[in-house]
């Protein structure tokens, strides 16, 4: 390599020199150990970050499906007849389905036991388009509600010792002037459902017509299911523009469960920040190993400068070296992270069977959920590579400031 050829074809020599100095890192014992530790730390950090983010995505998905998959996304209380607004609402973009709805808060009584429940009135034949309740039925069929019975969550039924066909009663509050009197509604258990979430213990379903007829004061409303849960504001704007819904009042899922999902999102962000610190620590080790390489190669850098290499080319050599080390760590971490995220549920199940413990004892989950998202992989990869490149700038700038004369004098 001559002084004339280096500037004209700088790209390839810079890459070759970066690879050569990377090989020198492996041959130097002290630097090699630090480099291996830093790369291993980067691999572990990226692996942990990908896995934890996937697990958090899994919990978020399970909560959405188990809770928001059954509650109304939007509740509308029109001024006029509910039935007369159904067809208009079903044609609104973003609305997957619509049906009558009613709700009463009360107490379920059987024998000497009393528990608080929410008695929800639904249209059994339309429920399949609105929620995942039909797929969660474990005893009976939803159309059995048309006979006036109720569906109970399996957890609530087990707690009270109830089976399909058993009689139950509900004490529902009824306003009478300035006082509230209890109204007794007696029926029987028509079936059971299991969602694997809180509604299994706090909710009972009844045919909406039967509930409105038998529970005076219960208001019939309109229940909507949306294609996109997070498009509530946009859909409400479209609904408010409809003539049949002029003067209607609205409520949506964010008023009851919005804080829960905000907390899950905040927890995911905080876990990402904390695990990102592991990646940052590994990058600092990469910086230390590159700084040691620069100190060891001061003579070689001086020779390159005398052969015609510019400061910028010397800087690029060491930036590229840092990128190569970081790239290897990030790729290996992504590979292990993807492998672990896809199999973490099975791995935890094996550990539970081997050591005889239950990680989710007392919860609604029977296994560790996980959902791998491409956006998270891309974000982790870009941030880790950017951090590695940023860390390589300091030792690279030191290499670019090496003065050839003193360095050659010291050889």
Residue 326 in contact with residue 385, Cβ under 8 Å?
A: yes
Rounded distance between C-alpha atoms, residue 288 and residue 359, angstroms: 40
Query: Strand (E) positions, 92-220?
Result: 95-110, 113-122, 137-139, 150-153, 167-176, 179-193, 203-207
Q: Which residues are CB-contacts of 230 (< 8 A; sequence separation ≥ 6)?
A: none
User: What pLDDT score was predicted for residue 164?
Assistant: 92
Q: How many CB atoms lie within 10 A of CB 74?
A: 22
Residue 41 in contact with residue 278, Cβ under 8 Å?
A: yes
Kindly report whether the global pTM for this prediction surpasses the value 0.75. Answer: no
CA 160 vs. chain centroid, Å, equals: 35
User: What pLDDT score was predicted for residue 178?
Assistant: 66
User: What pLDDT score was predicted for residue 19?
Assistant: 59
User: What pLDDT score was predicted for residue 405?
Assistant: 64
Grouped pLDDT means (10 residues each) for the chain, 411 residues: 41 58 51 70 89 90 81 84 79 88 89 88 88 89 89 90 91 73 87 86 91 85 88 86 80 82 83 84 80 76 75 80 84 93 89 80 75 91 87 82 66 53
User: What pLDDT score was predicted for residue 30?
Assistant: 47
Rounded distance between C-alpha atoms, residue 231 and residue 229, angstroms: 6
User: What pLDDT score was predicted for residue 342?
Assistant: 92
Q: Are strands 95-110 and 113-122 parallel, antiparallel or unpaired?
A: antiparallel
CA dihedral 175, 176, 182, 185 (to 10 degrees): -80
Q: Are strands 203-207 and 150-153 parallel, antiparallel or unpaired?
A: antiparallel
User: What pLDDT score was predicted for residue 411?
Assistant: 53
* CA distance to 54, 56, 58, 64, 344, per residue, from 373 (Å): 7, 11, 10, 16, 15
Q: Are strands 74-77 and 137-139 parallel, antiparallel or unpaired?
A: unpaired
* Exposed e or buried b per residue across 324-344, where buried means at least 16 C-beta atoms within 10 angstroms of its C-beta: bbbbebbebbbebbbebbeeb
């Amino acid at each position: 390599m001559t002084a004339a050829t280096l500037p004209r074809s700088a790209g390839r020599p810079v890459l070759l020199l970066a690879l050569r100095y990377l090989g020198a890192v492996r041959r130097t014992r002290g630097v090699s150990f630090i480099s291996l530790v830093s790369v291993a730390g980067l691999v572990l950090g990226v692996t942990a970050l990908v896995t934890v983010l996937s697990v958090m995505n899994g919990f978020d998905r399970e909560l959405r499906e188990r809770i928001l998959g059954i509650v109304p996304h939007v509740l509308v209380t029109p001024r006029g007849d509910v039935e007369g607004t159904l067809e208009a609402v079903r044609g609104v973009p973003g609305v997957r389905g619509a049906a009558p709805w009613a709700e009463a808060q009360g107490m379920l009584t059987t024998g000497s036991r009393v528990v608080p429940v929410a008695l929800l009135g639904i249209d059994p034949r339309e429920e399949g388009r609105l929620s995942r309740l039909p797929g969660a039925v474990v005893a009976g069929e939803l159309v059995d509600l048309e006979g006036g019975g109720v569906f109970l969550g399996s957890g609530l039924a087990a707690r009270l010792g109830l089976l399909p066909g058993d009689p139950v009663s509900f004490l529902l509050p009824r306003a009478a002037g300035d006082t509230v009197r209890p109204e007794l509604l007696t029926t029987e258990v028509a079936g059971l459902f299991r969602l694997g979430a809180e509604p299994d213990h706090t909710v009972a379903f009844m045919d909406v017509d039967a509930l409105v007829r038998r529970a005076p004061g219960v208001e019939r409303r309109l229940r909507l299911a949306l294609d996109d849960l997070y498009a509530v504001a946009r859909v409400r704007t479209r609904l408010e523009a409809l003539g049949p819904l002029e003067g209607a009042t609205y409520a949506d899922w964010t008023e009851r469960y919005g804080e829960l999902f905000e907390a899950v999102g905040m927890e995911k962000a905080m876990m990402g920040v904390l695990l990102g610190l592991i990646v940052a620590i590994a990058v600092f080790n990469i910086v230390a190993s590159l700084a040691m390489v620069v100190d060891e190669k001061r003579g070689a850098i001086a020779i390159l400068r005398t052969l015609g290499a510019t400061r910028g080319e010397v800087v690029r050599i060491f930036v590229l070296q840092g990128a190569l080390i970081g790239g290897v760590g990030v790729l290996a971490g992504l590979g292990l992270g993807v492998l672990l995220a896809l199999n973490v549920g099975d791995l935890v199940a094996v550990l539970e069977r081997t050591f005889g413990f239950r990680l989710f004892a007392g919860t609604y989950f029977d296994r560790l959920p996980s959902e791998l998202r491409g956006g998270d992989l891309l974000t982790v990869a870009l941030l880790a590579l950017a951090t590695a490149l940023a860390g390589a700038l300091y030792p690279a700038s030191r290499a670019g400031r090496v003065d050839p004369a003193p360095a050659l004098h010291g050889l």
